[in-house]
Structure formats: C-alpha cells, structure tokens
Amino acid sequence: MSRIGKAPVAIPSGVTVTVDGASFKVQGPKGELHQEYDPIIGVEVKDAEVLFSRSSDLPDHRAKHGLYRSLCAGMVEGVTNGFKKELELVGVGFRAQASGQQLTLSLGYSHPIIIEVPKEIKLAAESKKGSNPMVTLESHDKQLLGTVAAKIRSLRKPEPYKGKGVRFTDEFIRRKAGKSAAK
C-alpha cells in the first residue's frame, strides 16, 4: 500500500472539504480550491480527516492514490496558510517593477518584459540599493504559484559561469570554471 496515500489528511478548524461525484472542494480562510479525481480512487471525509483508498494494486492505481492525497494536502495547506515563492534577479541592470497584477522586468534584453499575473496571486517587487531585486509571489493555489514562478524564471535562467539570471532564493546554482581555469 502507498505510504503517502494511506496517511489521512487532517482538516484544521475553519476549513471544509466537500466531496461530490468525482471531485473535491476545499474552502478555507484564504480561498477556495477545486480538484477533480479519478473514480478508481475513493475519497471519504470522516472525523476531521480526509481518507483516500484504492480498488486494486495496479501501478497506475497506486500512483494516483498518492497523487490525489498529496494534492488534497497541498490544497488544505494553501487555504489555511498559503504559499510563497521568492525570486532573485542577479545581474547588472536587472530590474523588477510591480504595478497591480502587472510585472515589468528588465533582464538585459533590448526591451522590457511585461507579465500579467493571475488575480489569485499577490505580487510584490522590491529593489534595495546594494542588493539584488526581489520578486515575491503569494497565493493559496500551489500549482498556479509554481507555474507562474517557473514562467518568470524561464525568461532568463541562471547561467553556470557568472550565476546571472532569475533564480529562486533557496535555489543552489552549480558553478563552472571558465576557460582560464583549463590552462
């Protein structure tokens, strides 16, 4: 049996989980999330916990058993505490400016890059003198937050020689020696 799938998801106070048909909905103080699931997985809300079960031991069923349990746990965490991603812009002349749901980035290209961020994500850009510009994204939806953060990072991925680019604050960039180190 899946170790992740058989662990129940605790429902904290102030959060409601409703199961109807082949979908479940999680509502909490930070928002509301909805997820459809495969009917081969059984979902049951009992005693302030969400329990997941599967009908057989096929590899596909085992994988989905753990998947839907993890998605539900992330949804419960999101509507109670929320999630946060911080990106750092490393490079000379790199700038970030936020106005409403619009993020304007200067990443060394001949033009500024303008990104419309979904309304579910709270956006903030900070530039302090002597430090790299930071972009902070906060949301209750973990999947949407990760997608938007990855999109911003893909605009100028960190390169391994000088470390320039857009990176997550907790990301480690593996550095390489340049041509002069070969001599």
| Domain ranges across the chain | 3-80, 83-168
User: Taking the model in full, what pTM does it have?
Assistant: 0.88
Using alpha carbons, select from 144, 119, 147, 148 the residue that is nearest to residue 135: 148
Cβ 38 vs Cβ 29: under 8 Å: no
Q: What is the pLDDT of residues 108-167, one digit of tens each?
A: 999 999 999 999 999 999 998 889 999 999 999 999 999 999 999 999 999 999 989 999
Start-to-end C-alpha separation, the chain: 56
Q: Under a CB-based contact definition with an 8 Å cutoff, are residues 38 and 21 in contact?
A: no
Measured over the CA atoms of residue 161, residue 167, residue 169 and residue 174, the dihedral's sign is negative
CATH number of this structure's domain 83-168: 3.90.930.12
State the Cα–Cα distance between residues 77 and 71, nearest whole angstrom. 10
CATH 3.30.70.3340 assigned to domain 3-80? The reply is no
